[in-house]
Structure 1
Amino acid sequence: MIQSPGVLMAVLAFLCAIGPLVFIHEMGHYLAGRLFGVKAEAFSIGFGREIAGITDSRGTRWKFGWLPLGGYVRFAGDMNPASQPDAAWLALPAAERALTFQAKPLWQRAIIVAAGPAINLILAVLILAGFAHHYGVDRTPAVVGTVIAGAPGAKAGLQPGDRILSIDGRAIQTFTDVARYALIRPGEQVTLRVVRGGTTFDRPLAIGVVHQRDRFGNEYRIGRIGIGSGDPVLAPVGLAEAPAAGVRMTVDIISGTLETLGQIISGRRSIDELGGPIRIAKISGEQMALGVSAFVWLVAMLSINLGFINLLPVPMLDGGHLFFYAIEAIRRRPLEPRVQEWAFRGGLAAVLALMLIVTFNDLSAVGLWQRLAGLIG
């Protein structure tokens, strides 16, 4: 087992991963706003009191906040959380009002808001495309090569040479699809459609539960079927094909994230698995210790999650703004400011509650509660 990296390395890795991703996210908003003639008053990496900054010739204050857990772009006229016109906005001179976010048509506002998450997803696609081009993509067929005695696959009657066509109706293309499906469904009962010697049949199977410990001592509860593949097949990917491969990999990761969230919401997976900044810092340090490739892969995963989470239709997030814009497009007028204000308050309460939960989980993941229990005991 490799010793976990120290706090200093974890903090450094966290800043190296999150800082650029937040900058890129906010730069998406900023560039889209600039494209449509919206003045940006402030561009901040981090929240809270400014520790360093500079004002450019356009009047934008570029700065760092003392709390490096996010960032923001404040556009001219953005005077309330719902970004709705108010008395202060109406009091602006016409020339200044034309440069504000609220003065722009609905479609431009939607593009400005969506540009942040979009650029995070684009970055992830480019990184994953690079991995696909450099390493190739897995094309190992979903054919059983070995069966572990006593494992779920053996109990279900699988044999070497069987080809798995689908699991619970979901088409399976490669052996990696089988492993990925089982990984996030420990203990679940599923049905496999299998081809053996030209005959197609179904087999019920209970996915096994494995408690795995990685080289840093982190423990995971994962699903395994107990079968192995034949000889691995890695297909080379040319530069022209790499972006499409990156898109497919990004879609697969988002799909897995959605399924995992669904399991947490339905109670099939523990909420303890949700992590926040402390756990991200810990994982960042571990991946940096493993090398550049592992760390860059983590950056791609974080970029996908940053883009995906911000697109959720939760007030306070970009997706919440887009949700209200969709309602505005349908109604031909925005929701009443009071309704939006209460929605954003509810969104803020939900985000704060989630932050409390993930912080509690993070402190548990780094062993704080166990150490406190030991001291008390």
Structure 2
Amino acid sequence: MMTLQIVVLTVLMFFVVVTVHEWGHYYFAKRAGILVREFAIGFGPKLFAYKRDETMFTLRLLPLGGYARMAGEDPELDPIQPGQTIAVRLSDAGVVKKIFLDQLDNRRNVVIGEIEWIDIEERMQIRLNVDGETQHLEVDRKADIVTRGQELQVAPKDRQFRSKSVGKRALAIFAGPLMNFVLAFVLFLIYVQVAGVPDEKATGVEVSSVVAGTPAASAGLQEGDVVQSIDGQPVQGELSTVTQLINASGGQPVEMSVQRGGESLQIPVTPKMVKTEDGREVLQVGIALSQLKRTASFTETFQFAGESFKNGSTAILDALRKLVFERFDINQLAGPVGTLQATGQIASQGIDQMILWTALVSINLGIFNLLPIPMLDGSRLIFLGIEAIRRRPIDPNKEGIVHFVGFGLIFLLMIAVTYNDILRIIRG
């Protein structure tokens, strides 16, 4: 598969998985009445921005994640204080629609004055001294604060993240990983409908690939052939039976009964002794086999999806456990480059394998985000748990510092993993 195609597929996969994750945060935050300032896919410079209602939807340069920025989740602006000179733009009804904090002389159609009193969280009012005269002004609940070329919508207290109950905040945070798990389950459902399930009544096994330069290739076996018997012994749809019969040949020629496009063929093949990676010598002919499939029933589809989700989650959790409690090995981790390489290998196997891979990546992202690492959803849930126990919130500035440090550590780890991925590819 071409490198450009692999890159596009990988970016598309990340886009789907990350968008679903952030949509979970966004949807449940909106349901709780929280102002979501930005829905971003990627980090770094903006490539595309579109504002709908109160939220700016952005696509950013580095496809390494995303975020749903909620008002009041982290410290945003320095407080606007009495004694500060500002400019305000009023609606026809005399309500403040914009508040300018800088470049006041360059603003047009504004009223400039010194703040005597301000409350833009609860009472939504400003008392402004304009040329020695006090003006009492109402502030629109969706007014914008403009500073340093940026616009930030005011966030009344009841629209802020920290004003909501611990339960609503926890749901808005947990919803990201939850949506990844839902996506993975849906993809497993799609996969089993596309790929099917093993046909118990099958009398043969399918040749899924033939290795060039092997006895099978020389004998003329082709991908898609259905092997029904070897030396007259039926394989009964079991992959292990083929292996056993080839090993039992002792290296002597065997005759494979094959179905190819409705035609029955007898193909003689001489197995060859091959040394495996663990040093064992086995007889092989150079084919990969797969069971014949049939369309899954409704019940089988959900059973498969449930089992696949359970097995995938267990495997990822077990790998994390070994990584943390046994021996940390950076070679067990894969960054964007490693994922790109794996995606290329998997995509070449067909759309069904790509669906399966995307489901596993989605589970991985969901579990990873629930780890108690600063900046991730897991650590934010822990802070909320502490708040629930203490019955008072943790200082947002202190929590922000913890998340900032966590972001730095994860960024450094990502650089190290990416560097290791590149070295692994170079070394082959």
TM-score normalized with structure 1 length? 0.65
Q: Name the CA distance, whole Å, in 1 between partners of 2:39 and 2:3.
A: 29
Kindly provide the amino acid, as one letter, of the partner of residue 78 in structure 1. Answer: E
After superposition, residues 136-155 of structure 1 pair within 5 angstroms as none
Specify every segment of 5 or more residues in structure 2 that has no aligned partner in the other structure, as ranges.
81-117, 123-140, 142-155, 201-275, 283-289
Q: Name the CA distance, whole Å, in 2 between partners of 1:364 and 1:300.
A: 27
Q: Name the CA distance, whole Å, in 2 between partners of 1:72 and 1:282.
A: 26
Q: Name the CA distance, whole Å, in 2 between partners of 1:86 and 1:330.
A: 30
The alpha carbon displacement at 1:130 in A equals: 3.0
Q: Name the CA distance, whole Å, in 2 between partners of 1:266 and 1:59.
A: 45
After superposition, residues 70-219 of structure 1 pair within 5 angstroms as 70-80=65-75, 92-94=120-122, 96-133=156-193, 135=195, 211=277
Kindly provide the amino acid, as one letter, of the partner of residue 357 in structure 2. Answer: L
Partner of 1:13: 9
Compared CA separation, residues 245 and 326, structure 1 to 2 (3 A) = farther
Kindly provide the amino acid, as one letter, of the partner of residue 372 in structure 2. Answer: P
Q: Name the CA distance, whole Å, in 2 between partners of 1:276 and 1:101.
A: 32
Compared CA separation, residues 350 and 235, structure 1 to 2 (3 A) = farther
The alpha carbon displacement at 1:268 in A equals: 5.0
Compared CA separation, residues 135 and 294, structure 1 to 2 (3 A) = closer
Q: Name the CA distance, whole Å, in 2 between partners of 1:86 and 1:112.
A: 26
1:350 aligns with 2:409: yes
Kindly provide the amino acid, as one letter, of the partner of residue 71 in structure 2. Answer: A
Q: Name the CA distance, whole Å, in 2 between partners of 1:276 and 1:91.
A: 46
The alpha carbon displacement at 1:278 in A equals: 0.9
1:68 aligns with 2:63: yes
1:272 aligns with 2:331: yes
SS in 2 for 1:77: coil
The alpha carbon displacement at 1:86 in A equals: 9.1
Residues 292-350 of structure 1: CA deviation (Å, up to 9, x unaligned): 11111111111111111011111100111111111222222233446524432442243
1:34 aligns with 2:34: no
Partner of 2:363: 304
Q: Name the CA distance, whole Å, in 2 between partners of 1:78 and 1:356.
A: 27
Q: Name the CA distance, whole Å, in 2 between partners of 1:362 and 1:131.
A: 29
Compared CA separation, residues 122 and 38, structure 1 to 2 (3 A) = same
Partner of 2:44: 48
Compared CA separation, residues 317 and 236, structure 1 to 2 (3 A) = same
Partner of 1:143: none
SS in 2 for 1:278: helix
Of structures 1 and 2, the one scoring higher in RCO (CA 8 A, sep 6+) is: 1
Compared CA separation, residues 335 and 78, structure 1 to 2 (3 A) = closer
Specify every segment of 5 or more residues in structure 1 that has no aligned partner in the other structure, as ranges.
141-209, 213-223, 372-377
RMSD: 3.4
Q: Is the 1:273–1:361 contact (alpha carbons within 8 Å) kept by the matching residues of 2?
A: no
After superposition, residues 251-330 of structure 1 pair within 5 angstroms as 251-268=310-327, 270-330=329-389
Q: Is the 1:274–1:361 contact (alpha carbons within 8 Å) kept by the matching residues of 2?
A: no
Q: Name the CA distance, whole Å, in 2 between partners of 1:18 and 1:116.
A: 14
- The one of 45, 48, 54 aligned to 1:59: 54
Q: Name the CA distance, whole Å, in 2 between partners of 1:12 and 1:78.
A: 33
Q: Name the CA distance, whole Å, in 2 between partners of 1:139 and 1:348.
A: 49
Q: Is the 1:311–1:318 contact (alpha carbons within 8 Å) kept by the matching residues of 2?
A: yes
SS in 2 for 1:44: strand
Paired residues, what number?
Answer: 277
Q: Name the CA distance, whole Å, in 2 between partners of 1:241 and 1:333.
A: 49
Q: Is the 1:311–1:319 contact (alpha carbons within 8 Å) kept by the matching residues of 2?
A: yes
Q: Name the CA distance, whole Å, in 1 between partners of 2:396 and 2:160.
A: 18
Q: Is the 2:373–2:379 contact (alpha carbons within 8 Å) kept by the matching residues of 1?
A: yes
Q: Is the 1:12–1:285 contact (alpha carbons within 8 Å) kept by the matching residues of 2?
A: no
The alpha carbon displacement at 1:137 in A equals: 5.8
Compared CA separation, residues 139 and 86, structure 1 to 2 (3 A) = farther
Residues 247-305 of structure 1: CA deviation (Å, up to 9, x unaligned): 33212211111212222234457331210011111222222222211111111111111
Kindly provide the amino acid, as one letter, of the partner of residue 275 in structure 1. Answer: A
Q: Is the 2:43–2:63 contact (alpha carbons within 8 Å) kept by the matching residues of 1?
A: yes
> Which segment drifts farther, 306-315 or 281-290?
281-290
Compared CA separation, residues 73 and 121, structure 1 to 2 (3 A) = same
Percent identical: 29
Compared CA separation, residues 235 and 264, structure 1 to 2 (3 A) = farther
Q: Is the 1:129–1:244 contact (alpha carbons within 8 Å) kept by the matching residues of 2?
A: no
Q: Is the 2:189–2:301 contact (alpha carbons within 8 Å) kept by the matching residues of 1?
A: yes
